[in-house]
């Protein structure tokens, strides 16, 4: 994960998604455009606007097990690490940046990690691609904090996203947030409680541990950079039941 999760923004209102992608592609360097074009050919990568059939992820994984999502997965470090640690579970990394997803999907294939897939779609459209109550967990590692109050609605822990997660998650499902931003941490505590959620774990300084059994200690290159700068890593786990 090379930067903040800017890959799960809200979808543009009343805009044709194909026009958006064309406009983006015109501004993208040729090398990135090539990767984005190749994304559709990868067996573990899916375009959200490609008319996916219901149950598409069950067909990919070959089972009916619930899935865990990582929103704003970027280059897939966290999703792949989760899949390697829990080979009996299914994971899907979600982002809108095709070049990053190409890298994530390619690395997963090269490493032979078959229980992870990647979906290119805006986060607020997830209910079009997943059944209600079928997601086991949602991970939000270092999402963009959108510090300006005028941009608060774009935060992945804003009320509209919490309502979305409530629909996606199984009754016992959980959401995990990792952030170096104290403002986003405090904001999330408040919005979760206002939404009637339960904060299960709240840590203002997550230890730097190498614990293979606990996914909260997965450390990406981005997190390592923050730790080297002396920043505290905050962690929240919450549910809606």
Please pick, among 65, 95, 124, 144, the residue that the annotation labels catalytic. 144
CA distance 151 to 202: 24
In a domain, 160, yes or no: yes
CA 229 centroid distance within chain: 24
Phi and psi (nearest 5°) for 97?
-90, 105
Q: Is residue 12 part of a domain?
A: no
Give the per-residue pLDDT at 79: 98
Q: For position 98, which CATH number holds?
A: 3.40.50.150
Tokens of 116: 């992870």
Classify residue 11: in a domain, yes or no. Answer: no
Alpha carbon distance 219, 64 (integer Å): 30
Position with higher pLDDT, 200 vs 12: 200
**Choice among 10-19, 64-73, 113-122 with the minimum mean pLDDT:** 10-19
What residue numbers bound the domain in which 167 lies? 17-239
pLDDT, residue 227, reads: 93
Q: Is 144 a catalytic residue?
A: yes
Number of structural domains in the chain: 1
Residue 8 domain-assigned (yes or no): no
Q: Does residue 226 register a pLDDT over 70? A: yes
Residue 2 lies in a domain: no
3 located within any domain: no
Q: Is 1 a domain residue?
A: no
- Say if residue 214's pLDDT is above 90: yes
């Amino acid at each position: 994960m090379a930067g903040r999760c800017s890959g799960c923004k809200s979808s543009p209102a009343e805009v044709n998604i194909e026009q958006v992608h064309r406009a983006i592609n015109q501004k993208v360097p040729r090398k990135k455009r090539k990767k984005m074009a190749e994304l559709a050919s990868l067996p573990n990568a899916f375009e959200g606007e490609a008319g996916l059939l219901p149950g598409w992820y069950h067909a990919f994984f070959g089972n009916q097990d619930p899935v865990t999502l990582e929103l704003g997965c970027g280059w897939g470090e966290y999703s792949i690490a989760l899949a390697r640690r829990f080979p009996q579970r299914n994971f899907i990394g979600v982002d809108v940046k095709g070049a990053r997803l190409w890298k994530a999907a390619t690395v997963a294939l090269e490493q032979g990690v078959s229980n992870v897939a990647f979906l290119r779609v805006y986060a607020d459209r997830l209910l079009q691609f997943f059944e209600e109550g079928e997601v086991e967990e949602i991970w939000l590692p270092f999402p963009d904090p959108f510090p300006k109050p005028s941009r608060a609605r774009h935060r992945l822990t804003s009320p509209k996203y919490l309502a979305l997660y409530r629909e996606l998650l199984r009754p016992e499902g959980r959401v995990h947030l990792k952030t170096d931003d104290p403002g986003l941490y405090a904001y999330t505590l408040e919005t979760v409680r206002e939404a009637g959620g339960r904060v299960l774990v709240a840590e203002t300084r997550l230890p730097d541990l190498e614990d293979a059994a606990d996914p909260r200690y997965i450390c990406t290159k981005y997190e390592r950079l923050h730790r080297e700068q002396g920043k505290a890593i905050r962690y929240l786990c919450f549910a809606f039941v």
